[in-house]
Amino acid sequence: QRSPLNDFQLLRGTQLQNLLHAVVPGPWQEDVANAEECARLCGPLLDCRAFHYNRSSHGCQLLPWTQNSPNTQIHHSGCCDLFQKKDYIRTCIMDKGVGYRGTVATTAGGLTCQSWNHRFPNDHRYTPTLQNGLEENFCRNPDGDSGGPWCYTTNPSVRFQSCGIKSCQEAACVWCNGEDYRGSVDHTESGRECQRWDLQYPHQHPFHPGKFMERGLDDNYCRNPDGSERPWCYTTDPQLEREFCAIPSCAPPLTKQFQSRFISGSKAPPDQVATTFNCFRGKGEGYRGTANTTTAGVPCQRWDSQSPHQHGFSPEKYACKDLRENFCRNPDGSEAPWCFTTRPGMRVAFCYQIPRCTDEILPEDCYQGSGKQYRGSVNKTRKGIPCQHWSAETPHKPQFTPASAPQLEKNFCRNPDGDSHGPWCYTTDPGTLFDYCALKHCNKDQLPSILKPPVPVQFEKCGKRVDRMDRWRSMMR
Amino acid sequence: VVGGQPGNSPWTVSLRNRKGEHFCGGSLVKEKWVLTARQCFSSCHEPLTGYEVWSGTLFQNPQPGEPDLQRVPIAKMVCGPSSSQLVLLKLARSVTLNQRVALICLPPERYVVPPRTKCEIAGWGEGKGSSGASVLHVASMNVISNQECNVKHRGRVHENEMCTEGLLVPTGACEGDYGGPLACFTHDCWVLQGIIIPNRVCARPRWPAIFMRVSVFVDWIQKVMQLE
């Protein structure tokens, strides 16, 4: 059940243009069922190296070039996706690299390759054709040499030399559990081809690339989006849902002694999130504190124990995650630090009692009351975002302007609507309309009660429900 | 919910992560707005692509194609005032109100719920063996004054928080219920008076439970919904 798209690398929202007017791409074929049909058309054609797929019109345009071809330019497109054959795009080789169609033209020893259609300085019997892919002076492997792609060199004393292009397996290694792996291996350790992450067959799965943007779920490459032990993929074999990929580790094999140091967090691999101890940032992957109960106070199970809950998060397999004792950790990208609990009926629980590290900057001034009279010059939000000028119209169109309220000077924090939570401002961040300012209350301890005694109130369209539970009960049964 | 029963709470929604797993509760305060706890989210600014709000079902894992289920992506998150521990979630589109999905009223600004008012919490969270988490559970609680609450909690309960009575039989919110509502029946309507926040202990016998007091932040909620 492999998809013909497996041979292509996708660039979403992209079009590829050839700047030479003399060459024209193929015509648009409308009403193609989907991108797979387009791939089926392009795949076997030797002069088709890529195609555009128009998502709205379901159009398909076959292209004889890729982004690595001369005089081409990629640009953003609202409607089109660009699919390019992997053999032309990948910078590493699969197997012996017979299918390699990249543009490396230098040997491992640094010599410039001779053009395949030249017979000088080295004479040879190869004639470039579409079949053998011998193009310009690019490294190729037309004879299936075990050393991978090679070329005749322009040095008369060195007839030919291997180009030393690494296999995709060797080209990128994995740190820790390989969450950052962005290499091009697309087969599992048993040799099965991976299923594309953007397809739901043969296996349905929750890892839609659009939802997990930062996980790099490109094409059908091995990845680790769920904090597994190693990069993996769904396979194109309907009988086997998912399998690990054999990608070497960047770290040398750990000795027992080194392992214990490593586990205790002394070595930080690249790109690891910042370590915290008394609070956690983001999802808490960097939390290394000693909280060891769930939010509700249930003691955590030790990570090196399989009782009462069996699990795969053994400290040895997750050396970078510091799974020490029974401390709350987040080894799998969950919402917050968590643990297996010691209660048999409750497998896992979050440790939300660990406070989040503040992302607020230190207050720069203070205000009285609700801050309606504040006339200071603080012009930053509590997160440190600069305020938008009250007279400006972008990035946000203000409801309060200096015309209606003269105290709205420059981009200073003010409280034109008497907000009980203090002075605020529109922010210069297009994603944050307004926010409270980097200010504190001048005498918070002496504030009168903010609460009012109960008063009669009326509600109209909310808070009503049908309390007849018959249908629900039958459903639940 | 510990000590609860399967029940109906049409304003209680389930927050789902990118894998579709329930991780917190929330309350529908407008067709496009859900109020929940800040602690449920990693950042005020991180994109929420793939996160959804599920409403209209009693089941934690509804069957595919359940007709009443409404799944709406979260478009944006707005963090509340620093002392609030609250966030408002803007939905990518409005939910459709019906018998299974309803809005809950917001209280008047700074309204204090009178002690002994009947309230209830709802959620799909842990039941400590007293209930399964597979269907929505609801538990009744009675409000007590902050003064009374502070006797047990030694003055640590602030004005922007409120409490419910600690019963001998453990009753209250637990893992997975955070962000959900404390709804109180006031003037013939259910009003969102409190938000369940992560607490050190779930449903500890005789210990009052603490909630964020929504009425203190109603002006912020109205302002966000109006300006955004």
Residue B154 region by backbone torsions, left for phi larger than 0, else alpha for psi between -120 and 50, else beta:
left
> Can you give the pLDDT at residue A1?
79
> Can you give the pLDDT at residue A104?
97
Residue to test with chain B: of A437, A465, A471, most B Cβ within 10 A: A465
> Can you give the pLDDT at residue A255?
44
> Can you give the pLDDT at residue A168?
95
> Can you give the pLDDT at residue A296?
83
Q: Residues B25, B40: contact at Cβ < 8 Å?
A: no
Whether B186 has its CB under 8 Å from any CB of chain A: the answer is: yes
The alpha-carbon gap from A126 to the nearest alpha carbon of chain B, in Å, equals: 52
What residues 411-440 of chain A have any CB closer than 8 A to a CB of chain B? 417, 419-422, 431-434, 436
Whether B75 has its CB under 8 Å from any CB of chain A: the answer is: no
The alpha-carbon gap from A280 to the nearest alpha carbon of chain B, in Å, equals: 9
> Can you give the pLDDT at residue B228?
84
Tens-of-pLDDT digits for all 477 residues of chain A? 799 999 999 999 999 998 887 777 889 998 889 999 999 999 999 999 999 999 999 999 999 999 999 999 999 999 999 999 999 999 999 999 999 999 999 999 999 999 999 999 999 999 999 999 999 999 999 999 999 999 999 999 999 999 999 999 999 999 899 999 999 999 999 999 999 999 999 999 999 999 998 899 999 999 999 999 999 999 999 999 999 999 998 876 544 443 433 333 333 444 557 899 999 998 999 999 999 999 888 899 999 999 999 999 999 999 999 999 999 999 998 989 999 999 988 899 999 999 999 889 999 999 999 999 999 999 999 999 999 999 999 999 999 999 888 899 999 999 999 999 999 999 999 999 999 999 999 987 666 676 766 666 677 778 888 776 555 555 555
**Predicted confidence (pLDDT) at residue B130 exceeds the cutoff of 70:** no
**Bridge partners, residue A45, by sequence:** none
Task: Please list every residue in chain A whose beta carbon sits closer than 8 Å to the beta carbon of residue B105.
Answer: 459, 462-463
> Can you give the pLDDT at residue A260?
38
Percent of chain A with pLDDT over 90: 76
> Can you give the pLDDT at residue A309?
96
Q: A454–B113: do the CB atoms touch at under 8 Å? A: yes
> Can you give the pLDDT at residue B22?
93
Q: A206–B19: do the CB atoms touch at under 8 Å? A: yes
Q: A282–B99: do the CB atoms touch at under 8 Å? A: no
Whether A212 has its CB under 8 Å from any CB of chain B: the answer is: yes
> Can you give the pLDDT at residue A31?
81
Task: Please list every residue in chain B whose beta carbon sits closer than 8 Å to the beta carbon of residue A226.
Answer: 19
Whether A214 has its CB under 8 Å from any CB of chain B: the answer is: no
Whether A208 has its CB under 8 Å from any CB of chain B: the answer is: yes
What residues 84-103 of chain B have any CB closer than 8 A to a CB of chain A? 99, 102-103
Distance CA B193, CA B182 (A): 6
Point out the residue among A295, A356, A461 whose CB comes nearest to the CB of B175. Answer: A295
Whether B228 has its CB under 8 Å from any CB of chain A: the answer is: yes
Would you say the C-alpha torsion A97, A102, A105, A108 has a positive or negative sign? negative
> Can you give the pLDDT at residue A262?
37
> Can you give the pLDDT at residue A339?
97
> Can you give the pLDDT at residue A266?
31
Distance CA A45, CA A2 (A): 19
Task: Please list every residue in chain A whose beta carbon sits closer than 8 Å to the beta carbon of residue B50.
Answer: 208, 210-212
Whether B9 has its CB under 8 Å from any CB of chain A: the answer is: yes
Distance CA A293, CA A284 (A): 15
| pLDDT digit string, tens, across residues B143-177 | 999 999 999 899 899 999 999 999 888 888 988 89
Q: How many CB pairs under 8 A join A and B?
A: 162
Q: B99–A466: do the CB atoms touch at under 8 Å? A: yes
> Can you give the pLDDT at residue A85?
97
Task: Please list every residue in chain B whose beta carbon sits closer than 8 Å to the beta carbon of residue A421.
Answer: 81, 217, 219-220
Mean pLDDT in residue range B5-19: 94
* More confident position, B185 or A251: B185
β-strands A434-436, A424-426 pairing: antiparallel
Point out the residue among B39, B108, B111 whose CB comes nearest to the CB of A356. Answer: B39
Q: B18–A349: do the CB atoms touch at under 8 Å? A: no
Least confident of B18-22, B43-47, B101-105: B43-47
| pLDDT digit string, tens, across residues B66-78 | 889 999 999 999 9
What residues 14-73 of chain B have any CB closer than 8 A to a CB of chain A? 17-20, 23, 38-47, 49-50, 58
